[in-house]
Amino acid sequence: MKIGIIGAGFIGGTLTRRLTAVGHEVAVANSRDPETLADLAAETGATAVWAKDAAADADLVILSIPQKNVPDLADDLFAARKPGAPIIETNNYYPQQRDGLIAAIEDGQPESAWVSEHIGAPVIKVFNGIYWKHLLEKGVDAGTDGRIALPIAGDDVDHKKIVSDLVDQIGFDPVDAGSITDSWRQQPGTPVYGKDYDVEKTRAALAEASNERTDEWRAKA
């Protein structure tokens, strides 16, 4: 596939490495000049582009930026992707650590629903809860004992199938985590977040989640 990645931090950069390694054509952008991604492009064979060009003619787009920066994205940032191309978002809301107060999320709106609302397009939530080094290094062949499972939340069945196949290609077991309304089950502070669980344990952790944000993951009063 032709994949556009907006955000080249720990997760965006890692996905650039993993997806090019399995043969996908990747265009990657950050918030600065493409020249700042020259080393990543040289290492991976990806094409460094301006953010406004990352989604151009893409079969799939990945958004991996700080949550607080989502409202600053250009209104038409995803318009040039192929019709019906899925958008993955890997974001997390870190109110104390980085993002400050986002009132709608504090009031209970799932983080991915908030992203979808701001970009004006449906999203698939995945890759938000795995440590980037494990995403880079711990992918293994299907059927391997202890293969790490990644929850995938979204409303479009066809999009989830495309994303599930992608997750499998880079060495992880996809687990259907429900709709975007259910995506809070994989947000920071939930039992599955940050864990390298297999399919069975991932499903159990999703089922055990509470939608009450803990103090660590709420903005300070």
**53 is written with which tokens?**
């060009």
Query: CA nearest 217: which of 182, 174, 184?
Result: 184
DSSP state of 14: H
Select from 211, 167, 204 the least CA-distant residue to 188.
Answer: 211
pLDDT of residue 191: 98
CA distance 37 to 59: 22
Neighbours of 44 (CB within 10 A): 19
CA-based Rg of the chain, rounded to a whole angstrom? Answer: 16
CB 125 within 8 A of CB 112: yes
Distance CA 32, CA 34 (A): 6
Pair 110, 180: CB distance under 8 Å: yes
Sign of dihedral through CA atoms 69, 70, 76, 79?
A: positive
Mean pLDDT in runs of 10 for the chain (221 residues)?
A: 98 98 98 97 98 98 98 95 97 97 96 98 98 98 97 98 98 98 98 98 98 92 69
Long-range contacts of 166-172 (CB under 8 A, 24+ apart): 166/1, 166/19, 166/60, 167/126, 168/142, 169/22, 170/18, 170/19, 170/21, 170/22, 170/139, 171/18, 171/138, 171/139, 171/140, 171/141, 171/147, 172/130, 172/139, 172/147, 172/148
Backbone angles phi, psi at 51, to 5 degrees: -55, -35
What is the number of residues in the chain? Answer: 221
Rounded to whole angstroms, the maximal C-alpha distance in the chain is: 47
